[in-house]
Structure 1
Amino acid sequence: CTFYSNWILDPVIYGKYPKEMVDILGPALPRFVKNDVNLKIARADFIGINHYTSYFVQDCLNSACNPGVGAFKAEGCFLKLDRRGNVTIGELTDVDWQHIDPDGFQKMLNYL
């Protein structure tokens, strides 16, 4: 969840990236200048959350797996799966990557 939520929320709320991201991506992360941090910390009056789908996730840093291919380095750290064995994450919609998973939305809100 860190790579899909905290990398956006932590800078807004705390003025810095999550420790997990800094540990993995280090200098690849964009840097904040002092004025940016002062503008961001605790200035949000409202935070909206969009949740389109859920995935099973396998850690590729500490377990053997073929990491996902993506547009940014973070996606190489984990593998997103829409099923575990024969069990899908939720009912498939007309959009081929989107599954209906109300429990996934609740779990994300609890995490945040």
Structure 2
Amino acid sequence: MFAKQGGKIGIVLHIYWYEPLRDIPVDRVAAQRALGFIAAWFMDPIMYGEYPPEMRQIVGLRLPAFSMEDKRKLANKLDFIGINHYSTLYAKDCLLSPCNYHDDLLKDTFTYGTGTKDGVLIGEPTAMPTFYVVPNSMEKTITYFKDRYNNTPMFITENGYAQPSGRNIEDMLNDTNRVEYMEGYLTSLVSAMRNGADVRGYFHWSLIDNFEWTYGYTISFGLVHVDRTTMQRTPKRSAKWFQHFLKNEALHHPQEWQQNIAHL
């Protein structure tokens, strides 16, 4: 007999939130369809033993069917949902008119994802392409999972701000844009929790500047700057803000915090 280890098993999904590009029914449906393909595609089989209707309407018989035994094995076999959320895009319907796709992820959804509407960005751009600052999307994303999956416990497993690297050390350490990003997204997260979302934890990406996949060291997500020559680590302004936040100082005294932030 094996001793019980008492751990929890879940799944982590990388989720963009989608807003309709135009305030018309087909774009509202396209936004939901995009979420169906990037979120419900994985979650619905686990929770309900079926692929999501948003997929079946498009993919149809190409999707395999689950047997009753499959459904029995799959149903609710997780303890939590992990959510990596950074940004939001607009969604445009492509069922009724052709689109020039630049995102293969959305091609099968007949949806076009873009960060621009009438020449205006959906939010402040960051050093990571398609990562825009849209704080209220955190609450919307959490609420989507809460409502669709019976408020299964959730963790924010990644969330953070992409900062360009290679600038002088003063600019890297004085990361006020990251502070504003964190304040906005965490405020949105708190709002979702106050409305009943069962969120058990939040993990910022990342503690230190590190090697970011194909972007390497050209962008930085860390709260702590790393000198690549000496390996010296220096907390950024955002690290000090997060310290205050975790002590409830930033949240409980926002006006005082805003006055004092320049002195950190």
**TM-score normalised by structure 1 residue count:** 0.81
Kept in 2, the 8 Å contact 1:25–1:73? The answer is no
What amino acid is aligned across from residue 91 of structure 2 in structure 1? Answer: V
Aligned to 1:52: 86
Indicate conservation of the 8 Å contact 2:92/2:113, yes or no: yes
- The C-alpha deviation readout for 1:52-78, integer Å capped at 9, x for no partner, is 3210001112x4241525267524x10
- Structure 1 stretches lacking a partner, 5+ long: none
Cα shift readout 1:19-45 (whole Å, capped 9, x = no counterpart): 121121012224434433212111211
Amino acid at match of 2:80: F
Match of 1:38 in 2: 72
Report 1:1-112 matches (<5 A). Answer: 1-61=35-95, 63-66=96-99, 68=101, 70=104, 74-75=108-109, 77-112=110-145
Contact 1:65 1:79 (C-alpha < 8 Å) held by counterparts: no
Cα 1:94–1:49 change in 2 (3 A) is same
**Which has more radius of gyration?**
2
Q: CA deviation at 1:92?
A: 1.1
After superposition, the CA RMSD in angstroms is 2.1
- SS of the residue aligned with 2:82? coil
Richer in strand (by share): 2
Structure 1: which 4+ aligned runs deviate by more than 4 Å? none
Q: What CA distance in whole angstroms lies between the structure 1 residues aligned with 2:79 and 2:45?
A: 15
Bigger mean CA deviation after superposition, 47-56 or 27-36: 27-36
Question: Relative to structure 1, is the Cα distance of residues 57 and 71 closer, same or farther in structure 2, using a 3 angstrom cutoff?
Answer: closer
Percent identical residues: 33
